[in-house]
Structure 1
Amino acid sequence: MTILLTGANRGIGRALFDGYRDRGTQIIGTARTGAGFEPLEVTDSASHAALAQRLDGRGIDLLICNAGVYPDKGMALEGGYGPDIWAEAFAVNVTGVFLTVQTLLPNLRKAGGKVAIMSSIMASHTRAPGGAYAYRASKAAALNLGRNLAQDLAPKGIAVGIYHPGWVRTDMGGDAADIDVAEARDGLMARFDALSLHTTGCYEDYRGETIPF
């Protein structure tokens, strides 16, 4: 089994990378920079093409689209949310996911693989307490992207799941978050194991609970 994980150098991504490696699974981690990881800038088509060339047709059993940004964390509505914030959030959290799946589709088809997209409970329009507009909107778009990919890729034998990792104590989540990375990692790994064509298009948290759209 071969897994490819984007954003593997820190936070939940690093926990997943280490967890699969400890399990003995072949895992390829990508990051913008960092020793031990394949270089990948998820917003750049040329970077994706270079990664695909290095993979040389290798089958991928599980693609985890984890790379993400939260550029408007703590930002105030008054005076904040400039165009650069929106551009960065959507470039990484949405376009980056699409380009990764699109580029590696031949590798996924070769292995009959599946795709896990890291979104957030903040993508749910039924749970909208306000704030974090760019992040929420980009994660909602990632959810929509995943749901539509699930439809188009099912005939190709590729399942797609969309997941909320929980509010995790990382640099992004902060010290006040609910759970540690080990709990999020273990829950997510179980969810990815369970993903199949029978559950494709699912929107779940790390415990396997369905999140309302």
Structure 2
Amino acid sequence: MTIVITGASRGIGATLAAQYKDAGEEVIGTARGAGAGAVLDVTDPASHTAFAANLADRPLDLLICNAGVYLDKGDDLDAGFGPDLWTQSFATNVTGVFLTVQTLMPNLRAAKSAKIAIIASQMGSSTRAPGGSYIYRASKAAAINLGRNLAVDLKPEGIAVGIYHPGWVRTDMGGDQGEISVAESARGLVQRIAALDLAQTGAFETWDGRPHPL
């Protein structure tokens, strides 16, 4: 199985890459720099074009859209949430997901029963909305919506799309107070992705297999 994982230089992406490699899968991890093995800035169309050219016509069994940013963490309503943060966050968390999928569609179509996994967050749930972190929450809500609509359009082609909350993970983004380790989150996500099929396409689930309210 050939797998592409965006944002694989650290955190959940790096751990997913390591777990899949340990299982004997071929993993192409990407990052904005060269640290993950392949360069891909998900906000840059030219970077997508170059990455796809390097991949050539290789069939892609699984695409994990993991690259993301949380730039407004701790911002104050009165003085924070600058327009530049909105632009950068949506460019990575939403447009970056779409461009990755769009660019790699030929490779996904070339595989048998390809899958797309979008790492979203419960912070994008419209049902669970405790306030604050407006930019991150809005961008992840958009990513969830994007995934659900992609699932509808790609189902006739046999491509399943799963959307996942990875848990509150102890990473640079999640902080030291996170509820689970990176390894626990990654193991759960690997299991969820393995179980993903066309009957479940478009579902928003937690890392441990629970349906998450939208």
Q: Secondary structure at the match of 2:72?
A: coil
Deviation at 1:78, TM superposition (A): 1.2
Query: Which residue of structure 2 aligns with residue 12 of structure 1?
Result: 12
Unaligned ranges ≥5, structure 1: none
Query: Which residue of structure 1 aligns with residue 143 of structure 2?
Result: 142
**Separation (CA, whole Å) in 1 of partners of 2:179 and 2:36:** 30
> 1:129 is matched by which residue type in structure 2?
P
Query: Which residue of structure 1 aligns with residue 126 of structure 2?
Result: 125
Runs of 4+ in 1 over 2 A off after TM superposition: none
> 1:17 is matched by which residue type in structure 2?
A
> 1:159 is matched by which residue type in structure 2?
A
Unaligned ranges ≥5, structure 2: none
Q: Secondary structure at the match of 1:20?
A: helix
> 2:116 is matched by which residue type in structure 1?
V
2:198 aligned with 1:204 = no
Deviation at 1:36, TM superposition (A): 4.8
**Separation (CA, whole Å) in 2 of partners of 1:6 and 1:55:** 14
Query: Which residue of structure 2 aligns with residue 109 of structure 1?
Result: 109
TM-score (norm 2): 0.98
Query: Which residue of structure 2 aligns with residue 178 of structure 1?
Result: 179
> 1:83 is matched by which residue type in structure 2?
P
Query: Which residue of structure 1 aligns with residue 40 of structure 2?
Result: 40
Compute the RMSD of aligned alpha carbons. Answer: 0.7
Q: Secondary structure at the match of 1:184?
A: helix
Deviation at 1:34, TM superposition (A): 2.9
TM-score (norm 1): 0.99
Query: Which residue of structure 1 aligns with residue 162 of structure 2?
Result: 161
**Closer, same or farther in 2 for the Cα pair 1:66/1:36, shift >3 Å?**
closer
> 2:195 is matched by which residue type in structure 1?
A
**Separation (CA, whole Å) in 1 of partners of 2:100 and 2:37:** 16
> What percentage of aligned pairs have identical amino acids?
62
> 1:2 is matched by which residue type in structure 2?
T
Query: Which residue of structure 2 aligns with residue 77 of structure 1?
Result: 77
Query: Which residue of structure 2 aligns with residue 98 of structure 1?
Result: 98
Deviation at 1:35, TM superposition (A): 3.7
**Separation (CA, whole Å) in 2 of partners of 1:52 and 1:182:** 29
> 1:10 is matched by which residue type in structure 2?
R
Q: Secondary structure at the match of 1:116?
A: strand
Deviation at 1:27, TM superposition (A): 0.5
Deviation at 1:21, TM superposition (A): 0.8
Deviation at 1:10, TM superposition (A): 0.6
Q: Secondary structure at the match of 1:34?
A: coil
2:194 aligned with 1:193 = yes
> 2:45 is matched by which residue type in structure 1?
S
Q: Secondary structure at the match of 2:4?
A: strand
> 1:109 is matched by which residue type in structure 2?
R
> 1:82 is matched by which residue type in structure 2?
G
Deviation at 1:181, TM superposition (A): 0.5
